[in-house]
Amino acid sequence: MVDLAQLMENEVFMAFASHTMIVLLKMMFLSTANAFYRLSRKVFANPEDCHNKVSQIGQVKNRFFPIVLETKSPR
């Protein structure tokens, strides 16, 4: 069995581990950035999300339906 100290000295393993961390951090950042972008601009990916938010937001843009849906805001 390989000792952990020997594994950390291996250049190939360290390159693999560092590239893996870069890819994982990029994936986590981009998923958060994508969610923020969509919620801040009221753009949803599918019609079900769009129809659930219409009564709460008022105007919703959807990539499947290019028209802007307009409803009265609840008061």
Residue pLDDT, tens place only, 32-59: 998 888 888 877 777 676 665 554 555 5
0.75 surpassed by pTM:
no
Residue 16 CA, chain-centre distance (Å), reads 25
Amino acid symbol at 45: A
Q: Which two tokens stand for residue 41?
A: 């601009």
pLDDT value for 74: 55
Residues 58-62, mean pLDDT to the nearest whole number: 53
